[in-house]
């Protein structure tokens, strides 16, 4: 399996507004903050703490993820630009609590140095509690714990948006949104994948699930889901593949061996290269573009952090992700293009407007 860090820097068109890379004063770790666009407003995107073979892989991830945030926020209709931050760990490294604190303080300094053009939040490897440490060094952070007056983590909203997208994809493929009896394969049972597994099971879906963490088999057993290997998950015959782990999973080799009718999930940057969108279409596999599907979290963070935030209005806005996915499918069919092209057109129209 590949990840987004397997993509070389040479394959990325650099059109970012600003990229800051520093060695953390306290942690000694490479810290990258990439601001792709502020055309629609302050850039918003999470902070990722992850292990990479080399710092250039972390930079590649930050560049790709920040561009994805620009598209995600635009397609979601938010007055926000796109950015991302990455704290680069050596392969196999783990941080003590003290080391995590130092890394978050360094991240806060890096964010603050951008003068408000970028707001960070939790992402893979971080949490609401870690964001409260970032907040000691900058005000440009969202998603702090509720007990500290923050809005908390956005995983519930992300999972709700993916769930709505799955229903829209089922309707496009089978003419019904009914989950009962549908076989779905979830790869990745983290914060979002685990929540999604629960909601899909409650809707009557039959699940096969995989995760690199064997401890998550407990959730599979609790839900009555079949536990399979990570590689096996990509070759099972099912209705939908739901990737909820790291990106880059849809390589040409994987696509050739898929035995599903559609792919819709929470993972960012699911395509190893943009060409894979056409390869999926050629095989008749309906792909719901990731930056549309997984926008629930950023919608929640953007709306919940505003004065007078209305929980019901946020839930309603997240639910409209399913309608956006359905519109992307219709636009792609009408224009004879890939779903990626249709989603990009949707996002770019708002950016250009």
- For 273-298, what is each residue's pLDDT tens digit? 999 999 999 999 999 999 999 999 99
pLDDT for position 5: 42
- Look up 84 and say whether it is catalytic: yes
Choose among 272, 256, 213, 263: nearest CA to 242: 263
The helix (H) or strand (E) run that includes residue 49 is strand 47-52
Q: Three-class SS of residue 243? A: strand
pLDDT digits (tens, 9 = 90+) for 225-272: 999 999 999 999 999 999 999 788 999 999 999 999 999 999 988 999
- Whole-model pTM: value is 0.89
Bridge partners of residue 330, in order along the sequence? none
How far apart, in whole angstroms, are the C-alpha atoms of residue 345 and residue 248?
22
Q: Which domains, ranges and CATH numbers included, belong to the chain?
A: 6-69+81-148 (3.40.50.10860), 155-295+321-352 (3.40.50.720)
Do 85 and 107 form a contact (C-beta atoms < 8 A)?
yes
How far apart, in whole angstroms, are the C-alpha atoms of residue 339 and residue 318?
20
211 — pLDDT class (breaks 50, 70, 90): very high
Bridge partners of residue 88, in order along the sequence? 50
Bridge partners of residue 83, in order along the sequence? 35
pLDDT for position 238: 98
pLDDT digits (tens, 9 = 90+) for 89-109: 999 899 999 999 999 999 999
CA angle 116/121/122 to nearest 5° reads: 160
Q: Three-class SS of residue 331? A: helix
How far apart, in whole angstroms, are the C-alpha atoms of residue 136 and residue 293?
32
Q: Three-class SS of residue 48? A: strand
What values do phi and psi take at 87, rounded to 5? -105, 120
Q: In residues, how long is the chain?
A: 353
306 — pLDDT class (breaks 50, 70, 90): confident
DSSP 215: G
206-210 and 183-187 strand pairing? parallel
Burial zone of 237 (CB within 10 Å; 0-12 exposed, 13-18 middle, 19+ buried): exposed
Q: Which of 72, 84, 100, 217 is catalytic?
A: 84
């Amino acid at each position: 399996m590949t990840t987004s860090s397997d993509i070389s820097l040479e394959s990325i068109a650099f059109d970012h507004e600003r990229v800051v890379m520093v060695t953390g004063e306290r942690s000694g770790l490479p810290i990258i903050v990439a601001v792709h666009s502020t055309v629609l407003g302050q850039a918003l995107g999470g902070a990722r703490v992850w292990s990479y073979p080399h710092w250039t892989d972390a930079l590649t991830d930050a560049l790709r993820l920040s561009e994805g945030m620009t598209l995600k926020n635009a397609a979601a209709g938010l007055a926000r630009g796109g950015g991302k931050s990455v704290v680069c760990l050596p392969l196999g490294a783990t941080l003590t609590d003290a080391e995590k604190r130092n890394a978050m303080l360094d991240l806060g300094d890096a964010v603050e140095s951008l003068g408000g053009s970028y707001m960070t939040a939790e992402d893979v490897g971080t949490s609401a509690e870690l964001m409260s440490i970032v907040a000691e060094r900058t005000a440009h952070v969202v998603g702090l714990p509720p007990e500290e007056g923050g809005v908390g983590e956005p995983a519930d909203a992300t999972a709700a948006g993916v769930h709505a997208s799955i229903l829209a994809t089922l309707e496009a493929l089978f003419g019904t949104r009914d989950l009962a009896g549908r076989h779905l394969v979830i790869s990745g049972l983290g914060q979002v994948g685990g929540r999604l597994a629960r909601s899909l099971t409650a809707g009557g879906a039959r699940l096969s699930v995989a995760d690199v963490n064997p401890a998550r088999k407990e959730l599979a057993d609790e839900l009555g889901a079949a536990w399979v290997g990570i590689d096996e998950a990509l070759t099972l015959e099912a209705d939908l593949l739901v990737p909820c782990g790291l990106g880059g999973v849809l390589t040409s080799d994987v696509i050739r061996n898929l035995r599903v009718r559609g792919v819709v999930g929470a993972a960012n940057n699911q395509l190893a290269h943009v060409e894979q969108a056409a390869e999926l279409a050629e095989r008749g596999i309906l792909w719901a573009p990731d930056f549309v599907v997984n926008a629930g979290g950023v919608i929640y963070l953007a709306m919940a952090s505003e004065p007078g935030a209305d929980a019901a209005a946020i839930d309603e806005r997240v639910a409209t992700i399913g309608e956006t996915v359905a519109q992307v499918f219709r636009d792609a069919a009408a224009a004879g293009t890939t779903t990626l092209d249709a989603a990009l057109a949707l996002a770019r129209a708002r950016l250009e407007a």
